[in-house]
Amino acid sequence: MNHIVPENQLRNAPAVTPVTLEIVKGALRSAQAEMERLLQRTAMSPVIREKQDYFCGLFDRDGRLLIGTKLPILGNILAPILEEFPIETMREGDVYWYDDPYLSKGGVSHTPDQVFVSPIFVDGKIAGFTHSWAHFLDIGGMRSGSTTPDATEIFHEGILIPPVRLYREGVLNEDLFRTFLRNSRLPEMSKGDVRAMMAAVELGRRRMIELFDRFGVEGAHIAFDQLIRQTRDYARAQMHEIFKPGEYRFAELIDTDGHGTGPIAIRMTLTATKDRIEIDCTETDDQTRGPINFIMHPSCVQMMFGIYAVAGHPEFMFNEGLLSIIDEVKLREGSVIQPRFPASLGQRSVTLSRVTSACLGLINVASPDRAMGSSSAYSANKLRGTWAGSGEAFLKTMAIAAGQGARPNSDGPDAIYYLNQQNYPVEFAEQNYPLVVKRYAVNPDSGGPGRWRGGCGVIREFEMRSETASISLRMSNVDFPAYGVAGGMSGRSGQFIINPGRPDERVLPSLQDGVVLRTGDVLRIAMPGGGGFGHPFDREPERVLADVLGGFVSPESARDEYGVILDVASETVDLEATKAHRAAHRWQTKLLHRRDYFDPDQWWDHADSVTHAKHARS
């Protein structure tokens, strides 16, 4: 459900001055930043406070997004509320709430994500909306932390909140709130997080009132129209520059659902004409028993391409304009990106990351000059146990950073968790949980070789200091590492290893819960890297030397994959030997690489060949 002003009204709206437009733009950005800092500072959960898994946003009176997030995981945040509570029934002081991915049609994509929305009134009429969104540490479910690789239905993943009114004209529905808290293993923390989100929503309301006081509701909305139109027009032009008229296909592979199904393919076909772009995802494989299913609202794909289109252009806002750059997104009910209720969704980031990679793949096929290597997905793990002596339970979530894909003019970023979020500092982990971090370093050779190197993941090792604990594990890009492009090679796979170098060393599955850790056990998490760009033999030897000295590339890889002959002791390159070696050993390439080179048609066919034997499409 979209509440969008008709196109003719956008075209006919009077313009505001450039100065006024910049002031309004700055006011929106400032309001969002204040809301988010307030939420971070006042929340009790380390997921919000340290990991920063939250965001806030603002809408105009017609439900159009004025400023949002770089996280392309969400559907229309406001629509689920407006479908249940028509605007004419809303009152000043109301606050609405939900976490149900199915009833919100992907407004949230798994149950720990809580959304709060409040209308903004001026002179008795709705002038806009403000919202906050955050991941809660525990809302019930079969395992502490709510999401688990063991889940096979959404009822395993915590309490489902349909769109409801938490506050009616400023009065809290105490019964509803107590019911929610009763379902959490951490009720005081959850209560504090709700209060923090309410504070952020209220701050957003006040800042929007100030904006309306200064420019008037009508004047502000004229500026909103222009800001949305600016973003939309630029992003659409970029899309048609990338995708000339024609048909483009790309498939990406998910390792496993953790319950015996895999690989699973995401298949996208983009059709472009002079004035229209459509994406067909209906050939994507079926939903799975395991919890990797992802309710992908069409706006998610819009935002993925929109973020790419306006990257490097801060003058354009992340607003409703990005949600109209693709004319139609076709999805198939029952697929892994449009599952039927009550399929489990808790590990949906596994699939989200491959959807992002598939969207990037379409760009790579259509415009190889803009190609980027694929990025590996972060690892998310939950450590559960009890403190020795007190017997008090603890729950620690761990997000481990991976390597990102190389670009046509730069290496891929190393050790990135996810966009605007953070990992937990070592000091915080050791102070608050019974563990010691033994190693935290770059994972050498994990980045895909190329003219521009893929980013490296990290290695993180920790030793348990509690008597008993268990951990849930999730890692992607183990069987199918991040692909390289334009001659660049794929990144290295990641893995979990318990007690490395000891007689009881073993490699653990990439998606599993209930792994027991005892006092003295060491878990190594070696993260995968991003794909490279361009032939590795075209990388400047001095860059390869710097990579070796910095621990990003081993001397063996420098010789075998980059063709660079080094004297590590003297920190020099033998340029003549390097030139001769490269001339004698240079190989032919194709557009895409994952352990071997493929052209686009071969890539599509390869996805079919590895998935049909294990997972048939309906």
Q: What is the pLDDT of residues 52-66, one digit of tens each?
A: 999 999 999 999 999
193 or 399: which carries more pLDDT confidence? 193
pLDDT at position 68, please? 87
- Which pLDDT does position 11 carry in this prediction? 45
Output the pLDDT for position 73: 59
The angle at the Cα of 508, spanning 505 to 514, to the nearest 5 degrees, equals: 110
Residues 227 and 318: beta-carbon distance below 8 Å: no
Q: Which tokens is 489 given?
A: 């090679």
Band (69; pLDDT cuts 50, 70, 90): confident
Lowest mean pLDDT among 4-18, 130-144, 306-320, 523-537: 4-18
Q: Give CA–CA dist 129/251, Å, rounded.
A: 38
Kindly state the tokens that stand for 287.
């939903």
Of 46-55, 328-337, 604-613, the one with minimum mean pLDDT is: 604-613
Please tell me the predicted confidence (pLDDT) of residue 342: 98
pLDDT for 320 beyond 50: yes
Q: What are the tens digits of pLDDT across the range 343-401? A: 999 999 999 999 999 999 999 999 999 999 999 999 999 999 988 778 888 999 998 99
Confidence of residue 616 (pLDDT cuts 50, 70, 90): very low
pLDDT confidence tier of residue 8, bands split at 50, 70 and 90:
very low
Q: Which of 13, 110, 111 is nearest to 60 (CA)?
A: 13
For 125-139, 212-226, 388-402, 544-558, which range has the lowest pLDDT when averaged over its residues? Answer: 388-402
CA distance 358 to 265: 10
Question: In angstroms, rounded to a whole number, what is the distance separating the alpha carbons of residues 72 and 354?
Answer: 12
Instruction: Give the pLDDT of residue 168.
Output: 98
CA 135 – CA 183 distance, rounded (Å): 16
Structure tokens at 94: 């109301």
**Structure-block tokens of residue 418:** 């996810």
| Percent with pLDDT over 70 in the chain | 95
What digits encode the pLDDT tens for the residues 284-314? 999 999 999 999 999 999 999 999 999 889 9
- Give the pLDDT band of residue 15 (cuts 50, 70, 90): confident
Signed CA dihedral, 437, 440, 446, 447: sign only? positive
**In whole numbers, what is the pLDDT of the chain averaged over residues?**
94
Provide the terminal-to-terminal Cα distance of the chain, rounded to the nearest Å: 28
Least confident of 223-227, 413-417, 518-522: 413-417
Could you give the 3-state DSSP secondary structure of residue 417? coil
pLDDT interval class at 448 (50, 70, 90)? very high
Q: What is the pLDDT of residue 419?
A: 64
Per-domain boundaries in the chain: 7-234, 371-534, 538-588
Look at residue 424 in the predicted model and tell me its pLDDT: 77
Contact 373, 488 (CB under 8 A): yes
Position 86 confidence tier, pLDDT thresholds 50, 70, 90? very high
pLDDT of residue 613: 44
Q: Are 535 and 450 in contact (CB under 8 A)?
A: yes
- Half-sphere exposure (CA, 13 Å, Cβ side) for 402? 32
Cβ atoms within 10 Å of 102's Cβ, excluding its own: 18
What's the mean pLDDT in 582-600?
A: 98
Percent of the chain's residues with pLDDT above 90: 89
Report whether 109 contacts 101 (CB < 8 A): yes
Q: Which H or E element spans position 440?
A: strand 435-442
The SS3 call for residue 598 is strand
How does DSSP assign 300-322, residue by residue? HHHHHHHHHHHTT-TTS-SSGGG
Predicted TM-score (pTM) of this structure: 0.93
pLDDT exceeds 90 at position 466: no
Q: How far is CA 351 from the centre of its chain?
A: 10
What pLDDT, on the 0 to 100 scale, is given for residue 70? 67
**Strand duo 277-280 + 328-330: pairing:** parallel
Give me the phi and psi of 18, to 5 degrees please. Answer: -55, -35
Q: Give 157's contacts (C-beta < 8 A, 6+ positions apart).
A: 110, 111, 112, 141, 142, 146, 147, 148, 151, 291, 344, 345, 346
